[in-house]
Amino acid sequence: MNTQHNLSSRIPTRSPDTPPTLGIRNSTEGYGLIAIALHWIVALIVVGLFGLGVWMTGLTYYDDWYRRAPDLHKGIGTLLFLIMILRVVWRATNVAPDDESGISPLQLQAAHLVHLLLYLLLFVLMSSGYLISTADGRSIDVFGLFSLPAIVTDIPNQEDIAGAVHWYLALSLIGLAVLHALAALKHHFINRDRTLKKMLGIPPQPTDQP
């Protein structure tokens, strides 16, 4: 009896045509489930918070949402901060997927700079939001789960300065995110590479461009 043949026939092997499944962690071939989930959750929250922020500044004292909208904005903003900490830790402890071939070094550098700026803008934006909300010494209540104490309260005109910084950074972040999304769509529809597919968790197909 050929034992070697019997043993190897019992080991399940993946046919070269079977696409690899999506892992929890990143690989050099693409982003993993956690990085993908974090990316799209953050994207959704950023757009939602921007819309909510613009809408709530137009509310008057007599509107039902006059107090509830800012509470929601602050609560979600604080949760976003925690999610972003998790994202940075996950990013630092995972490999970055390989860049697509055929993209010029300058374009790659620009893309990486935009990613870095998106992270930085988000953190400064959230910090300025914290400084507006806590300028009067009141802590931020996060949906009754916990509260964030007011630590810095003595900057002159803190609320106004932090408010202006918050508004202009929010505009810059949305502008940069639109640019970033357009670049992703260009890669998908014009270059026809896997840049967007990697962030959507679509595994490589035999029909993909090399």
CA distances from 61 to 58, 69, 190 (A): 10, 12, 49
Q: Which of 23, 71, 72, 115 is in the footprint of ligand HEM by CB under 6 A?
A: 115
Across the chain, the runs of DSSP E, i.e. the strands, are 140-142, 146-148
Sites for ligand HEM among residues 135-194 (CB under 6 A) = 177, 180-181, 184-185
SS3 142: strand
Closest contact distance (angstroms) between CB of 81 and ligand HEM is: 13
Tell me how far apart the alpha carbons of residues 136 and 153 are, in angstroms, rounded to a whole number: 7
SS3 42: helix
With b meaning 16 or more CB within 10 Å and e meaning fewer, what string describes 92-105?
eebeebeeeeeeee
| Token representation of residue 118 | 């998106």
Closest to ligand HEM by CB, 78 vs 134, is: 78
Sites for ligand HEM among residues 70-99 (CB under 6 A) = 91
Range in contact with ligand HEM (rule: CB under 6 A) among 1-9, 69-77, 115-123, 163-171: 115-123
Closest to ligand HEM by CB, 49 vs 140, is: 49
Closest to ligand HEM by CB, 150 vs 183, is: 183
Closest to ligand HEM by CB, 128 vs 195, is: 195
Residue matched to tokens 């934006």: 125
Q: Which of 22, 34, 37, 43 is in the footprint of ligand HEM by CB under 6 A?
A: 43
Tell me how far apart the alpha carbons of residues 6 and 119 are, in angstroms, rounded to a whole number: 53
Q: Does 47 bind ligand HEM (CB under 6 A)?
A: yes
Chain contacts with ligand HEM (rule: CB under 6 A): 39, 42-43, 46-47, 91, 111, 115, 118-119, 177, 180-181, 184-185, 195-196, 198-199
